Chains A and B, each alone.
Chain A
């Protein structure tokens, strides 16, 4: 008997034949990553949960349009990216007169509250595009070509945003960084 891990591609084939349970399995694999991506962009857990549900509903409705099942992750995050910016456009008149920082973010709960607050505050000071580049690269671990698919932007632009953001974060977090905590970049 040969055991083989069920790949996302196998599940997608079953979903295309109408198997909802296969889609629920896909959701369970990806929901935490999508939720945390949205949370780091919006800063609001309730909005992030609502957006997550919208993202997976759209993914289910459009899964026949996915050409390469091996790139399900970037495709799903592309939907999440579009939903997030659509959400920003809808709520912009309420919260923003040109200042994105008016969105109140809830600091993440972690082992050292002062450190997590400092990191959250440093991320908040980035532009939304820079923050998204950092989130996709540092937290979600996407490759540059996958990020280009998600954001619909050339790799050169993404690298520019990411490296500029890291320069800013390096300055913002310098006192914190000097405390150590070097886990390595990968």
Chain B
């Protein structure tokens, strides 16, 4: 074993585990360090000897057949796929919303609700017409009163003018 303080880095280098940036420096070190050069050679020989042990062929190929025992159920596959997909979840939500809108748009209103609405509208119309009539009557009354006051004022002014005319005529 190398007594050099870079022995572990040397082994990392030998197994291609030294960061790429440190490899050139290590190569320069190996070129000048006899211990590390000898250690690297021994490591290479040892691993080469280990690799003499060949890989064996598997005596029997492994294969699986489609068997329901080993498969997740169709339901669990569906829900597994459903919850794992944001797109599917979003599409399903949009479908539910669309169905709710269509159902609410085409559902006929109950008969008693229509009658209630018509009664309410008729009551409102009657109330508004009554208010209009009251306002018209009040307006006519007010107009008559103002007209009478105005005519009285005209009469007063006419009388004053007549008095002034008579007074000036007497003076001449």
Contact residues of A with B, CB < 8 Å?
Answer: 17-18, 20, 23-24, 27-28, 31-33, 35-36, 39-40, 45, 49, 52-53, 56-57, 60-61, 64, 108-112, 115-116, 119-120, 123, 134, 137-139, 143-144, 159, 163, 166-167, 169-170, 173, 176-177, 180-186
Contact residues of B with A, CB < 8 Å?
Answer: 1, 8, 11-12, 14-17, 41-66, 70-72, 77, 80-81
A-side interface mostly: helix
Minimal beta-carbon separation of B134 from chain A (angstroms): 78
* Cβ-closest 9 pairs across A and B: A183-B48, A35-B58, A20-B66, A177-B45, A185-B44, A110-B54, A170-B46, A36-B55, A185-B47
| Max chain A Cβ within 10 angstroms of own Cβ: one of B1, B50, B65 | B50
Minimal beta-carbon separation of A157 from chain B (angstroms): 14
B64 touches A20 (CB 8 A): yes
Q: Closest residue to A115 on the B side, CB-wise?
A: B52
Contacts of A181 in B (CB 8 A): 45, 48-49, 52
Q: Closest residue to B58 on the A side, CB-wise?
A: A35
Q: Which of B17, B53, B59 contacts A116 (CB 8 A)?
A: B53
Contacts of A31 in B (CB 8 A): 58, 61-62
A53 to B17, CA, bound (A): 32
A-B contact count (CB 8 A): 123
Contacts of B71 in A (CB 8 A): 18, 20
Minimal beta-carbon separation of A94 from chain B (angstroms): 23
A32 touches B14 (CB 8 A): no
Contacts of B17 in A (CB 8 A): 143-144
Minimal beta-carbon separation of B142 from chain A (angstroms): 87
A139 to B53, CA, bound (A): 9
A96 to B72, CA, bound (A): 40
If A24-B63, A53-B62, A56-B62 touch, whether A134 touches B50 (CB-CB below 8 Å) is yes
Q: Which of B8, B14, B54 contacts A108 (CB 8 A)?
A: B54
Contacts of B15 in A (CB 8 A): 137, 185
Minimal beta-carbon separation of A135 from chain B (angstroms): 9
A54 to B135, CA, bound (A): 97
Minimal beta-carbon separation of B157 from chain A (angstroms): 106
A138 touches B62 (CB 8 A): no
If A35-B56, A39-B56 touch, whether A163 touches B47 (CB-CB below 8 Å) is no
If A18-B71, A18-B77, A60-B70 touch, whether A138 touches B51 (CB-CB below 8 Å) is yes
Q: Which of B52, B62, B70 contacts A27 (CB 8 A)?
A: B62
Contacts of A52 in B (CB 8 A): 58, 62
A57 touches B70 (CB 8 A): yes
Q: Which of B50, B56, B60, B65 contacts A36 (CB 8 A)?
A: B56
Q: Closest residue to B40 on the A side, CB-wise?
A: A185
Q: Which of A64, A116, A120, A182 contacts B48 (CB 8 A)?
A: A182
Q: Closest residue to A21 on the B side, CB-wise?
A: B66
Q: A18-B72, A64-B80, A110-B53 are in contact. List 5 more A-B contacts (CB 8 A).
A: A35-B58, A108-B54, A111-B54, A119-B50, A173-B50
